[in-house]
Amino acid sequence: MKDYQNKLSQAAQPAFAPAFRTRKGRGDKEYVISSPYNVGKVFEFYENIFTGIKYNEFEKTIEITKAVPWSKEKGLWTNEQTSLCIAFIDEKYRFTPRKEHIEVAITALAKKNTYHPIKQRIESQKWDGKARGERYFIDLLGCADNSYNREIAKVWLTGLMARIYLRKVKFEVVPILIDKRQGTGKSTVTKRLLPNYHTDSEIKFGKNDSDYQKIQANAIIELGELKGMSKTEIETVKSFISSDSDTYREPYERKATPHPRHCVFIGTANKKSFLKDSGTERRFFPIECGINDVEKHPMEVEEDYFLQVLAEAKVWFNNYEPLTPSKELMNQLADIQEDYKVEDVDKEIIDQLLNEFQIVEGWDGLSQYEQRQYVLKQLGEPLDNAQSYSDYPSTQTDCLLQVTSPNHIAYLGFNQKPTQGGKALISQKIRDHLDNDDGWKKGENPSRKRLFKGGTPVSYYERV
């Protein structure tokens, strides 16, 4: 300790330490040169720098884990930290290092202190030999106790290990957790395995650059509240999920580079109908939750349980357990998926708007555009023009839509106006639906009504 304190005391003096590399100037005076080596020598004088600057192998980031002489802030190493470090060395050691020399030295130091936060969590406990992993969905979410649910849990957890411990591996199994009743805690189950490396933020399946950043920053990607997907949408999702790496350009980088995937996907849905495809979809594995009662809600389960599930999954991975479901399970899949397919996505959207959507206060005083945004907000869909939900504050009512028209529903649900092309038959399909729904009838008194602010009176349907 004395040696360290002496070293620290010496380092605080604006005098050149013998270990610095120097050059001779006028009159044979020695000057410290700016170099990564000399910056590194400064870092060696300070234990908090030497041991507190670490490289996060999962996130590929440099982190400050202890207070450093120029800043008490902990977190990611930033350009601001580089500038403060330059100012500190310039003041204390009378040489001004270049920015790139700081970055080279700090990277070299951080790499010596490499750690992987997810591996640390997985390896924090040794498996006690008690089987938990295969029953993960069964015990926590009240799923049926059968070979299908056990095998999907095992394959998915083993796939998570493979994505963490192997640089590049193909893995396409996506369990879809479906609520039979509300409040089962399906999102909690996906989050508690790796709380700091789970996201349920919306993914656009490669349409946005932010998708790739979310994927690289997390190990479990929750595809939240899936609804009926068209064949085109399914093809997009399938292609995205099947990739084992993503090629894109990082911010401030000059060119795009491949980034191997180190995440798995899991979906959640509140409705049974989320698939629309004529054949078997080999990536999506429906798991119905809430069939049986559970001893504890997932939020109340002890942390050790999740650590033991991870430890058991690591044993499976070490024993080369398969990353694909068995032929026997795949032979069952077509029949299982049949119960979760939407025969007509448009029909489901129409029925949802007519018989489930609850209007907000002041509904009739909103423009048609504003009404559509509130519809999207209540359904959990992205708003038009990348607007935020906070742009549309509201007081929710328990009142269903009372008056509407085929063109009104076509716009609210499908963003289609009568003057536009596209789904030419959607208004007629809505009209047929209204004509055959006992809960609706054609309005007669008056014969025409205004349905939104700024609209013209039109023929309408009213709730019975």
Q: Where are the domains of the chain?
A: 2-115, 120-338, 345-463
User: What's the pLDDT at 123?
Assistant: 98
Residue type, 247: T
Contact between residue 401 and residue 357 where contact means Cβ atoms under 8 Å apart: yes
Q: Are 330 and 284 in contact (CB under 8 A)?
A: no
Res 223: pLDDT? 87
R_g of the chain computed on alpha carbons: 30
Are 286 and 337 spatial neighbours (Cβ–Cβ below 8 Å)? yes
CATH of domain 120-338: 3.40.50
Question: Among 95, 73, 93, 97, which Cα is nearest to 83's?
Answer: 97
So what's the pLDDT on residue 13? 44
pLDDT at position 424: 58
Which residue has tokens 């299982």? 336
Global pTM reads: 0.71
Write out 310-358 in H/E/C secondary structure: HHHHHHHHHCCCCCCCCHHHHHHHHHHHHCCECCCHHHHHHHHHHHCCE
Residue 60, burial from CB neighbour count under 10 angstroms (0-12, 13-18, 19+): exposed
Give CA–CA dist 216/119, Å, rounded: 16
| Backbone phi and psi for residue 449, each to the nearest 5 degrees, phi listed first | -140, 155
**Amino acid at the residue 67:** A
Indicate the DSSP class of residue 449.
Answer: B
| Among 140, 166, 163, 164, residue whose Cα is nearest residue 153 | 140
Closest CA to 212 of 161, 153, 253, 173: 253
Whole-angstrom Cα distance, residue 268 to residue 380?
13
Residue 381: partners with Cβ closer than 8 Å, 6 or more residues away: none
CB 185 within 8 A of CB 298: yes
CB atoms within 10 A of CB 262: 22
Can the peptide bond before residue 393 be classed as cis, meaning omega within 30 degrees of 0? no
Task: Output the six-digit token pair for 412.
Answer: 């609210």
Q: Give me the residue label for tokens 């069939």.
A: 291
Tell me which residue of 168, 192, 181 sits closest to 288, measured CA to CA.
181
Spell out the per-residue pLDDT of the chain, length 464, in tens: 444 344 434 444 444 454 888 888 777 788 888 899 999 999 998 999 999 999 999 999 999 999 999 999 999 999 999 999 999 999 998 899 999 999 999 999 999 999 999 999 999 999 999 999 999 999 999 999 999 999 999 999 999 999 999 989 999 999 999 987 777 898 899 999 999 999 988 877 766 667 888 888 999 999 876 665 555 666 778 888 888 988 877 766 678 888 899 999 999 886 666 666 556 678 889 999 999 999 999 999 999 999 999 999 999 999 999 999 999 999 999 888 888 876 677 887 898 899 989 999 999 999 999 999 999 888 778 899 889 888 998 888 989 999 999 999 999 999 988 766 555 568 888 999 999 899 999 998 888 999 999 999 999 999 99
